[in-house]
Structure 1
Amino acid sequence: MMRELSLHGRIEILKHLMDGAMTLSELTKKVGCLPTSTISRSLKILNDCCMVKKNGNKFELTGIGYLIADYLSNVEQILPLWEYICDAGEFMKILPTELKPGLVYLCDAEIEPDPYAAMMKAFEDIKKANRYGKYITKIVSYEINIYMIERNIKGVHDYVIFYPDLLEKNIKVTAQAVKDVIGNTDIPIDELRRLINSDLKVLNLPFQLGIIDGKVIYLQMSQAENAPFFISRDKKCVEWGEKIFDYFWEIAEPVDLAAELKRYL
């Protein structure tokens, strides 16, 4: 089927028919670069593939035709991201099918090629958070933990999916940050849970994601050391990022953060 689509402007025919039924002459005029005889042969092949049907003297898309034309349109829209998607095979593999069209929102995002610079920008947004943060991360940072705990105490709630292999290291760093922020660590575990105000889960994922206050998204689609971050404050892009996070949050394994911290406090 894809071989048939690749020939004689058939993709162009499908795209134009998305606007509505057309006669052969109307389609020939719309496509522009092919003679009527070629358009006619292509329509016959598309009809044989159940993508186009004839209704009177006009041609229109079938349900399959609309599905394929819409899919091809989505692929065309994300062409500016081609090189980044090529390097994000594992991310694309696990991204739910229904969320893949949302990649188009990244076309207008800021691309920060320096992961460290992206982390510093995220750091500034974390310091300004006043509601919540959602993170899929492998970053172990004492400084970021300090600011997150200070915000947690003031009411910001964090949801974190962490890499299993780095969990123990992060627990130790977080425990030190808790000691330095709270001071008195000889407190009941329920009080500790209230103060740290965070939910932690673990899942091995091939990307990093941060959503702060539902206002900004940071996304690194590859585990490569120098993979760029996409940064966007566009509402639709942020909402798409939230759906990605929520999907993986449901399947991640819960960790009792307060109990883990107590081992080092």
Structure 2
Amino acid sequence: MSSNILKLYEKVRDDLKFLTASDVRTKIIIVLNGGSKNLSDLKEETNLNSSTILHGMSQLEEKNLILKQSGGYSLSQTGKIVALNLINLIKASTSLGELEKILLMHEIEVIPNYLLENIGSLNNAVVVESTPTDVMKPHTVHAELVSRSKEVKYISSVLLPQKIESFDELLEKGSLQLMLTEDVLEKWIEIKGRETLKKELLEKDFKLWKIENAKMSFTVADNFFALGLFSTDGMYDLNKYLISEDEEAIKWGNRLFDHYLKQAEEVKL
């Protein structure tokens, strides 16, 4: 696999350098991704002078990445694809500074590769950490967000009792989808009571699944996304939650939930 990618790199390395080695070309591509612009628009949005922009435009035209039409400039079809990938790379690079707090030394294999490739969707996420004076801070923040939610989807391979109370309150006004590993499910039933859970499944907007392998505590709701991971030593990290209220992060979270839903078995008590 790596040898094939290296061969591909040899073919496109000059194109990659062309796209990333010039601030001018990069800024023009990003601005034009927002729609057709004239020279005045480009000057205002890039803070570059006319001659610099026109030189960059000429280079991009030679690569068939932009089109000149009736005094305006726009991306070609190829240019649009390049712009989307370039923007995604920028977002991913921006995200990694904050995400490193939770991704480094944690088990990220639970996130499928196609979602790791789109990690830029989490560029506005923050890591909420425990402090010496507030060790429960990540879970308090999570509970507060759940209290404002109307719809929650939750995956977990760890039992966090405080979640049970939060979700009980949610079910009085909203919908809940739980996906739990077998041992966590058994403990959840023990705490809640089988008959109580059965009644909620029948009477509330509530669905319950069993999943074999999902080493995380993960929530995606209508108003936020949250992710807790296991450390590489095999222990769940209670002290960190990656949280975002950004719409793009919520969409990313729904894709992660759907990924595991395909592997889950619905529970009928």
TM-score, shorter chain, exceeding 0.5? yes
User: Within the alignment, does 1:218 sit opposite 2:226 as a pair?
Assistant: yes
Tell me if the contact between 2:36 and 2:72 (Cα under 8 Å) persists in the aligned partners: no
Residue of 242, 262, 266 corresponding to 1:230: 242
Amino acid at match of 2:189: A
Amino acid of the residue matched to residue 93 of structure 1? N
CA-based RMSD of the aligned residues comes to: 4.5
Q: Is the 8 A contact 1:161 1:252 kept in 2?
A: no
Residue aligning to 1:202:
211
In structure 1, the partner of 2:21 is 7
Give 1:14 deviation, angstroms. Answer: 2.0
Residue 134 of structure 1 is matched in structure 2 by: 153
Deviation at 1:67, TM superposition (A): 2.8
CA distance in 2, matches of 1:38, 1:155: 55
Q: How many residues align?
A: 237
Q: In the alignment, is the contact (CA less than 8 A) between 2:224 and 2:250 conserved in 1?
A: no
The answer on whether the counterparts of 1:141 and 1:173 sit within 8 Å (CA) in structure 2 is: no
State whether residues 158 and 198 of structure 1, in contact with CA within 8 Å, keep that contact through their aligned partners in structure 2. Answer: yes
147-156 vs 76-85, greater mean Cα deviation: 147-156
Between the aligned partners of 1:103 and 1:94, the Cα distance in structure 2 is: 14
Matches of 2:196 and 2:95 in 1, distance apart? 50
Give me the whole-angstrom Cα distance separating, in 2, the residues matched to 1:151 and 1:30: 47
For residues 197-237 of structure 1, the C-alpha deviation after alignment (integer angstroms, 9 at most, x for no partner) is: 5411315346542145x3443234x5435584233455x35
Is the 2:226–2:243 Cα contact (8 Å) retained in structure 1?
Answer: yes
Q: Say if 1:27 and 1:73 are closer, same or farther in 2 by CA, change over 3 A.
A: same
Q: Does the C-alpha gap of structure 1 residues 208 and 49 become closer, same or farther in structure 2, counting only changes over 3 Å?
A: farther
Amino acid at match of 1:229: Y
Going from structure 1 to structure 2, the CA distance change for 1:43 and 1:92 (only over 3 Å counts) comes to farther
TM-score by length of 1: 0.63
Aligned amino acid, residue 244 of structure 1: R
CA shift, 1:135, in A, is 0.4
Please give the alpha-carbon distance, in whole angstroms, between the structure 2 residues aligned to 1:13 and 1:67.
14
Q: Is 1:161 matched with 2:179?
A: yes
Return 5+ residue gaps in structure 2 as ranges.
1-14
Equivalent of residue 128 in structure 2, options 112, 117, 128: 112
1:254: Cα distance to partner? 1.0
C-alpha spacing 1:150/1:66, structure 2 compared with 1 (3 Å): closer
1:95 partner SS:
helix
Equivalence for 1:103: 122
Deviates more, 1:132-141 or 1:199-208: 199-208
1:168 deviates by 3.4
Displacement after TM superposition at 1:177 (Å)? 0.6
- 5+ residue gaps, structure 1: 180-184, 259-265
Q: Would the alpha carbon gap of residues 211 and 256 (structure 1) be closer, same or farther in structure 2, given more than 3 Å must change?
A: same
Change (3 A) 1:242 1:95: closer
Match of 2:66 among 41, 48, 52: 52
| Code of the aligned partner of 1:103 | L
Rg larger in structure: 1
On the 8 A contact 1:211/1:241 being kept in 2, the answer is no
